Structure 1
Amino acid sequence: MFRSLRERNYRYYASGQVVSLTGTWMQRAAQDWLVLELSGGSPASLGLAVALQFIPTLLLTLWAGVIADRFDKRRMLIGTQSALGACGLVLGLLNVTGLVQLWHVFVLCFVLGCFAAVDAPVRQSFVVEMVGQAQLTNAVALNSMTFNLARIVGPAIAGVLITAIGTGWVFLANGLSSVAVVAGLALMDQAALHRVRPPPKERGQLRAGLRYVRGRPDLIVVMVLVFCLGTFGMNFESTFAVVARNTFERDADGYGLLITMLAIGTLTGAALAARRSGRGVPRLRLMLLGAAVFGILEAAASLMPTYELFAVALIPVGVAVMTFTTSANSTVQLAVEPTMRGRVMGLYMLLFLGGKPLGGLASGWIAEVLGPRWPILLGGLASLAAAVGGAAVLAWRRRGAGSVDGGVARSRRLG
């Protein structure tokens, strides 16, 4: 289950990520709460903050994938992780000194989003360099476990700290936590990395990556599913805070508990994915099933009448969403040529994160007009529809391929 940790470089990376991601989730919870406080509880303002944080993904992630294929990923990550930590420190200083205004938060959301947009495809494609092809699926699952362990601990700590000492100190703690992941990257043995020869410098590398994906129907189905679920189904940042505050009349610790309950489910789902990683490569069938079950469970959770039932319902939602995301990520990385991995993962992260501005704004508007539960219900139904559509496309292509193969075989017999 923990085979990837045998790699020394990956141990350094994972150890730093535990600390840094805990700080990241503390900041996310504090940022959502700060926006609601500064805006008087406006769901639309929270949706705008989420949108500003993810808009840079639309502009930068594809080009970051090209850069990831050509340059030293470890050095790039040291730079982006340092910059992300600096954003937390600046917001924390503005907050604790009492100078922070809503527009400050919006600006820093955009700046943080710029560095995160570059960081994402580089970080995703760096995993295989640390552990090699054989351990990639296991490492992706362990990354998800680390991410979701932080997702449990971070918001819980943030909820307590926000109530006790305010949001500003939470931002400062996140800024300092980035030191851990930067130190892990700096201590790596570069000779032990599984690097591939970068492609030659030439024009049209981005277009070449897009053409490569266009010629792979299996990758297209994964990309469309990732976009639909990431945009409409996984808007937890802009829905849970509103549901906790406006529907169930809970404080910051109540919001933190909702994130924690979801993370218990996602951590469980990641652990199951790590156990499955020893059984061979991930299958598209599992990815489609995870997407469909996630949609059903999310829609059902939106109908829960009490805060306690809503919180408990988030656990199976987390298991399903992690089944989908780990299988989708591993499927893409193992299915592509090594020299294309950065560009393909750039497109993957663009679709996974780039729709969040649209999803965040739509969720805020729907919550304002129809109520806080509706974005969750509609997001679940949209995810279910995308999964059914993806399964139908793949089944249709298999039948078409089977008919062609059968026709060729009959022609050969007649000949």
Structure 2
Amino acid sequence: MEKVLSKKRLQIPQVVAALKHRNFRLFWGGQCISLIGTWMQNVAQSWLVLELTRSAFWLGVVSTFQFLPMTLFSLYAGTLIDRFPKKKMLIFTQAGLMTLAFILAVDTWMHTVKLWHVLILAVLLGVMNTFDMPARQAFMIELVGEADLMNAIVLNSSIFNAARVVGPSVSGLVIAKLGIALCFLINAVSFLPVITGIWLIRLPKPVQPASRRCQEGIWQGIKAGLDFVRKTPGIFVPLALLAVINVFAFNFNVLVPLYAKNVFHAGAKTYGFLMGANGFGAIIGSVILAIRSAHGPKMRSLFIAAAGVSIFELLLVPAKSYTLAYLLLGITGLWVITFTTNCNSLLQVQSPPNMRGRVMSIYTLVFGGLVPLGSFLSGSMAHAWGAPAALGLGALISLAFTVALVIWRPSLLKQEISFKWQD
């Protein structure tokens, strides 16, 4: 009994090991507030587009515009991230995101908002996120060091998914009771804590001088990053699987509002709760991952999670009950967080410090930059055949690719991952 209690006491700190670092606490605390606002804006923007156009096609187009900059500029962004201080870059990007949210809030509140306004702001939002997302990922190791990186990634994912529960649910209620504009305003204000937290972070002077980091040309840097990924199977395979799953299975922002409106014949409140269900399942997955973070990422877990996402999306296709849909979206969310956390961790633990910004920019390119393609395909299919058919076809393609990879390289399921990088 004493050994069991001792083991439990050792395990509890491991769940939140990264929080012992002051810099990570400042960053993480700000994100706890800001991400709720981000999810409120995501839901409100999709609902705004539906109100302006009543079209599944335009919902996909707006999502395409928002993620198109990642497709075009992610590789360039990664090279710059490896050259310049990430702290300053993040303050700039977060301030830019706050400004864009405030502009959309005022435009909507004054009832002057047009579809083309939303499209322009979506592009600008995408430009900011193209630099912000990989910078945040690569910044993590500077906050916690090598030993607690996996736990930091899990904790960061946990608040992201907690926000997926709180943000959409609150957004649905706010839209129904107070209007869409307030969601955008709340998001704008929510950036203040994270900007303050990043400003207060204290980092040691960089080991590598800026002049040395800038010796390599931009295109040389991009080519070096792509060559590294291509020659490292432990990084290339997760990225290839992520590409297919992201295009065909991760289209919740396009398809869930259509489920709420066309399948369940409901409004913004139901839409918010359905999006929240996905996040609630991801929270449960985050807790499990945090407990197991000391064991590191597993290639086998990546493939199992990819299959889990696909299978539970297929089960959602014939669902006519709101309760059943809520449950299935929750379970899908659990598999989504398991997949993305293992993928993110596999990339970081196998990337050397001088490549991490570029590797994570390629991750951003695949994770965010391919969203335009996925959004366009799912929006077009939903427009032609309905949301359930679009969801089912995407899930089938994802499952087929996952099974094909396992048949082609069964040894991947047994591959052990070690921490290869050294600072």
Query: TM over 0.5, yes or no?
Result: yes
TM-score (norm 2): 0.91
1:100 aligns with 113
1:175 aligns with 188
Aligned counterpart in structure 1 of residue 291 of structure 2, from 275, 284, 299: 275
Contact 2:65 2:119 in 1 (8 A): yes
Aligned counterpart in structure 2 of residue 12 of structure 1, from 11, 21, 26: 26
Q: Secondary structure at the match of 2:174?
A: helix
Partner Cα distance (1:45, 1:333) in 2: 36
Distance 1:133 1:394, change over 3 A: farther
2:279 aligns with 263
Q: How does 1:36-55 map to 2 (within 5 A)?
A: 36-39=50-53, 41-55=54-68
* Unpaired stretches in structure 2, ≥5 consecutive residues: 1-14, 415-423
Aligned counterpart in structure 2 of residue 249 of structure 1, from 261, 265, 285: 265
1:35 aligns with 49
Partner Cα distance (1:135, 1:331) in 2: 14
Structure 1 runs (4+) deviating above 3 angstroms are 193-200, 396-399
1:402 aligns with none
TM-score (norm 1): 0.93
| Aligned amino acid, residue 298 of structure 1 | E
Partner Cα distance (1:249, 1:239) in 2: 14
Aligned counterpart in structure 2 of residue 223 of structure 1, from 227, 236, 239: 239
Partner Cα distance (2:65, 2:386) in 1: 23
1:212 aligns with 228
The alpha carbon displacement at 1:88 in A equals: 0.5
Aligned counterpart in structure 2 of residue 21 of structure 1, from 35, 46, 53: 35
Partner Cα distance (1:112, 1:194) in 2: 29
Partner Cα distance (1:3, 1:397) in 2: 29
Contact 1:197 1:339 in 2 (8 A): no
Q: Give the CA RMSD over aligned residues.
A: 1.6
State yes or no: 1:303 paired with 2:314: no
May I ask how many residue pairs the two structures share in their alignment? Answer: 396
Aligned counterpart in structure 2 of residue 201 of structure 1, from 201, 215, 220: 215
1:368 aligns with 383
Partner Cα distance (1:229, 1:55) in 2: 18
Partner Cα distance (2:207, 2:359) in 1: 17
Partner Cα distance (1:380, 1:322) in 2: 17
Q: Secondary structure at the match of 2:297?
A: coil
State the Cα deviation string for residues 306-343 of structure 1 (Å, max 9, x = none): 22211111111011111111001001100111110110
Aligned counterpart in structure 2 of residue 332 of structure 1, from 347, 352, 359: 347
Partner Cα distance (2:397, 2:63) in 1: 20
Q: Percent identity?
A: 38
Contact 1:162 1:252 in 2 (8 A): yes
Q: Secondary structure at the match of 1:237?
A: helix
1:410 aligns with none
* Unpaired stretches in structure 1, ≥5 consecutive residues: 400-415
Aligned counterpart in structure 2 of residue 88 of structure 1, from 101, 105, 123: 101
Partner Cα distance (1:159, 1:398) in 2: 41
Contact 2:46 2:59 in 1 (8 A): yes
Q: Secondary structure at the match of 2:409?
A: helix
State yes or no: 1:184 paired with 2:197: yes
